Structure 1
Amino acid sequence: MELEIAVTSAVGAGTAASEGADRIELCSALELGGLTPSQGLLEAGLEHVDGRLGIHALVRCRPGDFRYSASEVDTMVHEVRHLLSLGADGIVLGALTPDGDVDSPVVQRLVDVARQTKADAQLTFHRAIDQSRDPLAVLDRLVEFGFHRVLTSGHEATAGEGLGMLARLVERSAGAIGIMAGGGLKLSDIPAMHSAGLSAVHLSAKRAVSTLAEGSVPLGSQDGVDPTAYEVTDRETVRAARAAVNAVNLERRGL
Structure 2
Amino acid sequence: MVLFELCVDSVKGLEECIEQGVGRIELCSCLTLGGLTPSAGLICCVLDIVQSRIPVHVLIRPRPGDFVYTSDELAVMIRDIRMAAQLGVAGVVIGALMPDGSVDEISTRQLLDVAIEEGLQTVVFHRAFDMCADLKSALKQIMRLGIKRILTSGGCQSAVEGDDVISDLVKQSCGDVIIMAGGGVSPCNVGSILATTRVTEIHGSAQRNINSLVMYRRPGVSLESNATATTPELSQQYQQKAVSIDVVKGILDAIRAHERRTII
TM-score range, shorter chain: over 0.9
Aligned counterpart for 2:243 among listed residues 216, 233, 236? 233
Q: Which residue of 2 aligns with 1:252?
A: 262
Distance 1:58 1:30 in 2: 11
Shift of 1:213: 5.6
Partner residue, 1:220: 223
Q: Structure 1 counterpart of 2:223, which letter?
A: G
Runs of 4+ in structure 1 off by over 6 angstroms are: none
Q: CA deviation at 1:226?
A: 4.3
Q: Which residue of 1 aligns with 2:141?
A: 141
Shift of 1:225: 0.9
One-letter code aligned to 2:198 = G
Shift of 1:214: 5.8
1:65 aligned residue: 66
User: Secondary structure of 2:5's partner?
Assistant: strand
The alignment-based identity, stated in percent, is 34
Q: Which piece of structure 1 moves more, 147-156 or 182-191?
A: 182-191
Cα deviation for residue 250 of structure 1 reads: 2.3
Gaps of 5+ in 2: none
Q: TM-score, normalised by structure 1?
A: 0.94
Please give the per-residue CA displacement for 1:170-217, whole angstroms capped at 9, x wherever unaligned.
Answer: 110111111111112232222222222112111101111113666412
Contact 1:207 1:233 in 2 (8 A): yes
Q: What's the offset of the Cα at 1:84?
A: 1.3
Give distance in 2, aligned partners of 1:191 and 1:226.
32
Deviation at 1:233, TM superposition (A): 0.9
Q: After alignment, is 132-141 or 226-235 more displaced?
A: 226-235
The one-letter code of the counterpart of 2:47 is L
2:253 to 243, 252, 255: 243
1:163-242 mapped onto 2 (5 Å cutoff): 163-195=163-195, 196-211=197-212, 215-217=216-218, 218-221=221-224, 222=227, 223=229, 224-242=234-252
Q: TM-score, normalised by structure 2?
A: 0.91
Counterparts of 1:148 and 1:245 in 2: how far apart (Å)? 23
**Alpha-carbon separation, structure 2, partners of 1:213 and 1:43:** 27
Secondary structure at the aligned position of 1:188 is classed as coil
Q: Indicate if the aligned counterparts of 1:123 and 1:148 stay in contact, CA closer than 8 A.
A: yes
Match of 1:92 in 2: 93
RMSD: 1.5
Q: Do the aligned residues in 1 keep the contact of 2:212 with 2:240 (CA within 8 Å)?
A: no
Q: Does 1:17 align with 2:18?
A: yes
Mapped to 2, the partners of 1:29 and 1:212 lie a distance apart of: 19
Map of 1:109 onto structure 2: 110
1-structure distance, mates of 2:42, 2:174: 36
- Per-residue Cα deviation, 1:115-146 (whole angstroms, up to 9, x for no partner): 0001x521111000111011111111212222
Mapped to 2, the partners of 1:16 and 1:201 lie a distance apart of 15
Indicate how the Cα distance of structure 1 residues 83 and 191 shifts in structure 2: closer, same or farther if over 3 A, else same: same
Comparing 59-68 with 138-147, which one deviates more in the overlay? Answer: 138-147
Give aligned pairs, total.
253
Farther-moved stretch of structure 1 (44-53 vs 10-19): 10-19
Asked whether the equivalents of residues 181 and 202 of structure 2 are also in contact (C-alpha less than 8 Å), the reply is yes
